Amino acid sequence: MDYGLSTIDQINAMQITLKNIGRRFNRDWIFNGVDYTFNQGETYAILGSNGSGKSTLLAILNGSLAPSMGEIVYTGNGTPIEVSEVYNYLSLAAPYLELIEEFSLSEMIDFHFKFKNYKPGIDKAAILDLLNLPGNANKLIRYFSSGMKQRLKLALAFCTDTPILMLDEPTSNLDAQGVEWYINLVQQFATGRLTVICSNQAHEYSFCQHTLSITDYKNQV
């Protein structure tokens, strides 16, 4: 089967640049003064305790939340990308993202890939095999355990053909076997992407080349 040219092969220089970025809630700054550049092909961990602002920074990075101060610039192969179009270039998995529980597993996969492309060499059968949830293809998502739902979120994100991969607390609700499964996904599907992981657990980000600590960007205004 010919899956065509990967988006990662077409865009090999995706970049996100933060310029003096800050976000506040009412009068209190969550963080501010963030100057940082994220490059495709490298892995980044955003670190901080629960409630420190990791997810907020990730939301700014993926364009779903506007900063209170500063500028964010997206480029692909040197060409500017509008913030309204950034969702086309990224995959996201996070505990707070909801699956459509009225869908079966099979229907959820079909629905997701109406909007995004499979990575080359991947199709629905491959994802079902990767999930290793035999007998559950026609089971409604509402009857899945929290761990099964997290596996599905991760599989969809990793197997979607995008140059940016963003994961927030990726091993939430996973047991030890699930954590090992997650690490295998990283090894198989994160190569060549701009990968950002929000975490306070070392096993989730130990492979990351760069770390950014939220506490370094507090109380600077």
pLDDT digits (tens, 9 = 90+) for 11-62: 778 999 999 999 999 889 999 999 999 999 999 999 998 888 999 999 999 9
pLDDT of residue 218: 84
Helix, strand, coil percent values for the chain (each to nearest 5): 35, 30, 40
pLDDT of residue 6: 55
As a whole number of angstroms, the longest Cα–Cα distance in the chain is 56
Q: In this structure, what DSSP letter does residue 219 have?
A: S
Model confidence over 57-106: pLDDT tens digits?
999 999 999 999 999 999 999 899 999 999 999 999 998 899 999 999 99
pLDDT of residue 13: 86
pLDDT of residue 124: 96
pLDDT of residue 3: 38
The b/e string for 88-119 (b: 16+ C-beta within 10 A; e otherwise) is ebbbbbbeeeebeeebbbeebbeebbeebebb
Q: Is the pLDDT reported for residue 5 higher than 60?
A: no
DSSP string, 22-36: EEEETTEEEEEEEEE
CA 80 to CA 78: how far, in whole Å? 7
pLDDT of residue 12: 75
Domains in the chain, start-ordered, CATH in brackets? 7-217 (3.40.50.300)
For 143-214, strand residue ranges (E) read 164-168, 194-199, 210-213
Average pLDDT of the chain to the nearest whole number: 92
CA 190 to CA 132: how far, in whole Å? 20
